[in-house]
Amino acid sequence: MLTTYKSTLKLLLLFHFTLLLAAIPSLGANERKVTKLADGVYAIEHKFLNDGNSSGNTTVIIGAREVFVVDSCYRPSTAAEDIAQIRQWTQKPVAYLLNTHFHNDHNNGNQAYMAAFPALAIIAQEETKKEMDLIQPGNVARAPKEIESFVAAFRQGKGQDGHTLSADELKLYQSIVPNLEPLLAEFKTMAYQPPTLTFTDKLDIDLGDREVQVKFLGRGNTSGDAIVYLPKEKLIVAGDLLVYPVPFTYDGYPSEWVATLRKMAALDATVIVPGHGSVLHDKTYLTLVADLLQSAVDQVDARIREIGFPGGHPLSEIKSAVNLTPFRAKFAGADKQLQAAFDEMADELVKLTFSEAAQR
């Protein structure tokens, strides 16, 4: 099982979909789970569908006049399930949908919301809209072809790059391929629905007896991570700045991410909805992730002091000097699969920190 994580990542890379830690069953929810966070405020964790990806969490905030939704899932059909659920909760319209960042496991479902609520405003930080406009139309156009070529290669016992699949890869692919048919059918009819309303630093919205603050606290997981803060309910919706139980560090800006998380920690909050995984009820995990990122940045900087400009050195010279294992037990405990996920993540984090440093 320990190779599953790495293999899944490779698989996802081949698909060119967003990479997700939740691609490991134990890290994704086995069932759709709805948590009531306050009167009229709900978090939805989506079921793991084992199709090479998985949806980010969705948060629903119901005001006296209208509804605000955070993130719209990987599959439009999953978004449609959420919309049906919202209609059971309230007849008020969804007036706002926020895309927390550009990764498509958080915004492929935009079109489903726009179809259901034509007066909808889809909000994104301006950098996120730029990234979505750049990347998402191609994602949408390529997705069916990539699934078809992945399945065709698999039928020959090969990966998309032509390599012969190992026994572990075969096992993993065999579990995923049957789930790709409905995904393919759905992706053939998917269209890119861009954000319709952008902001730079903040956007405060009154839904009627409920204040929603949308904030950009700085770069982190991407160049345009938006969070939502409900001051009265003391609640934060963090997007993938926080992914539980192991951070997502395959993209982003580690040194700035630390500062962004410290600003988030300064908000008066008792509930935090991460981009993936269970709802958090204090700031312990937030602090732990910030400390992990800080440690990676500090150790890479210490090494740069010894060797000079990082651009002139291979990654291996940095890697050997960075040790994140003191954090392993704090994230993974004794769970072997989580430990493997942590090791992969830590490996990627060092790479990412090094490449960020090399660009300074």
Residues that bind Zn ion (CB under 5 A): 56, 103, 105, 240, 275
Q: Which of 247, 254, 240 is nearest to 360 (CA)?
A: 254
- Nearest distance from residue 345's CB to Zn ion, in Å? 14
Q: How many residues does the chain have?
A: 360
- Nearest distance from residue 210's CB to Zn ion, in Å? 26
Q: Cβ of 155: how many Cβ atoms within 10 Å?
A: 9
From CA 35, how far away is CA 92, in angstroms rounded?
Answer: 20
Residue in the shown chain whose Cβ atom is closest to Zn ion = 56
- Nearest distance from residue 71's CB to Zn ion, in Å? 8
Segments of the chain assigned E as strands: 33-38, 41-45, 58-62, 67-70, 94-98, 121-125, 197-199, 202-206, 211-216, 226-230, 235-243, 271-276
From CA 355, how far away is CA 315, in angstroms rounded?
Answer: 9
Under DSSP, is residue 185 helix (H, G, I), strand (E, B) or coil?
Answer: helix
Nearer to Zn ion, 260 or 295 (CB): 260
- Nearest distance from residue 326's CB to Zn ion, in Å? 26
Nearer to Zn ion, 102 or 154 (CB): 102
Nearer to Zn ion, 250 or 342 (CB): 250
- Nearest distance from residue 251's CB to Zn ion, in Å? 10
Nearer to Zn ion, 136 or 295 (CB): 136
Are 237 and 59 in contact by the 8 Å Cβ rule? The answer is yes
Nearer to Zn ion, 66 or 240 (CB): 240
Compute φ and ψ for 241, nearest 5 degrees. -60, -30
